[in-house]
Amino acid sequence: MELRPALVPELGCQDVLASLRFYTDVLGFHIRYDRPKQGFYYLERQGAEIMIEQLDEGSWIAGQAVPPLGRGMHFQIGTTDLAALYETCKAANAVIFRDWEEAWYRADDHYVGQVQFIVQDPDGYLLRFEQGLGARKVPNTGRVVG
């Protein structure tokens, strides 16, 4: 039996093919499987899994799909190639919502660090890509949270 992630978000898209191009061509996700006739694509990138689906009258949505979609949340996605991904996003003129930064987040008696940036997908969903920097008792660089 295949072990599946405990959480895989499914994002409703206004133009799923535009979103598919963005996720595959710019962000480097690949299609694990799809149902093109239904406008559904299951994507994976370095262990992060996400589903995208064309919004229509049968979509599971609690309100109107008014852009930007996903207001009030963002998705953190770990990666091992943050610098290259950032440059790819800039070269593709992707909307960088929050620029590259080093950040340290308090976790009990220490801080956990990462470099990160946030890019906005074609529907407005926010994707925070990050690469870990390890832990420190007291950070001496970057933005400190907590």
Domains of the chain: 10-56+74-145 (3.10.180.10)
Q: Which of 43, 26, 132 is nearest to 87 (CA)?
A: 26
Check: CB of residue 133 under 8 Å from CB of residue 115.
Answer: yes
How would residue 132 be classed by pLDDT, with cut points 50, 70 and 90?
very high
In which order are the strands placed within the sheet that holds 95-107?
A: 74-78, 126-136, 110-120, 95-107, 143-145
How many residues comprise the chain?
A: 146
| Span 97-124, pLDDT tens digits | 999 999 999 999 999 999 999 999 999 9
Residue given tokens 């930064």 in the structure block: 101
Predicted pLDDT of residue 50: 98
Sequence-ordered list of residues with C-beta below 8 angstroms from that of 39, at least 6 positions apart, any chain: 13, 16, 53, 54, 56
pTM: 0.93
What confidence tens digit (pLDDT) does each residue in 4-55 have?
A: 889 999 999 999 999 999 999 999 999 999 999 999 999 999 999 999 999 9
The answer to whether residue 58 scores a pLDDT higher than 90 is no
